């Protein structure tokens, strides 16, 4: 009888501990889902900077320095942007000679107080 009582108490303690440490929200509320544009594209977000020597530079949210070729006119350092590029694309030769060159398919700029603007590039 004493043995059953000990098992019952252990199960009760284990159940209470799990209740205290588990998150009551469903799993989907805890996970930020990535943007899926298409299976072959990826999104990079960041801020345009003046770190580029020959080409426009982008400091990604992951703090990586990216270099953009063929940037549309009107983009300036300080702009928050979202870049779409093809995943697993073989790097092409570049005249920028600095950082990781992004060969983009679309650029969207977000400026305070202005509507977002998107440029698309045919590939």
Q: Does residue 27 fall inside a structural domain?
A: no
Q: What is the Cα–Cα distance from 57 to 64, expressed in whole angstroms?
A: 10
Confidence (pLDDT) at 32: 36
Q: Does residue 19 fall inside a structural domain?
A: no
Confidence (pLDDT) at 1: 65
Res. 64: pLDDT tops 60:
yes
**Confidence (pTM):** 0.61
For 20-64, list the strands marked E by DSSP: 41-49, 56-60
What range does the domain containing 63 cover? 41-120
pLDDT, greater one: 32 or 57: 57
Q: Does residue 85 fall inside a structural domain?
A: yes
Alpha helices in 24-70 (DSSP H): 27-30
Q: What is the Cα–Cα distance from 122 to 33, expressed in whole angstroms?
A: 28
pLDDT, greater one: 69 or 9: 69
Q: Does residue 88 fall inside a structural domain?
A: yes
Q: Does residue 93 fall inside a structural domain?
A: yes
Number of domains the chain is built from: 1
Q: Does residue 110 fall inside a structural domain?
A: yes
CATH number of the domain to which 84 belongs: 2.40.50
Q: Does residue 55 fall inside a structural domain?
A: yes
Q: What is the Cα–Cα distance from 33 to 99, expressed in whole angstroms?
A: 28
């Amino acid at each position: 009888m004493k043995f059953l009582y000990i098992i019952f108490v252990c199960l009760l303690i284990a159940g209470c501990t799990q209740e205290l440490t588990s998150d009551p929200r469903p799993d989907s509320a805890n996970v930020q889902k990535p943007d899926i544009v298409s299976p072959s594209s990826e999104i990079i977000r960041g801020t345009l900077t003046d770190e580029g020597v020959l080409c426009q530079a982008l400091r990604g949210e992951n703090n990586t320095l990216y270099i953009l070729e063929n940037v549309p006119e009107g983009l300036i350092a300080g702009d928050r942007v979202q870049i779409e590029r093809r995943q697993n694309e073989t790097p092409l030769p570049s005249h920028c000679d600095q950082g990781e060159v992004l060969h983009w398919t679309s650029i969207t700029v977000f400026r305070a107080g202005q509507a977002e603007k998107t440029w698309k590039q045919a590939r």
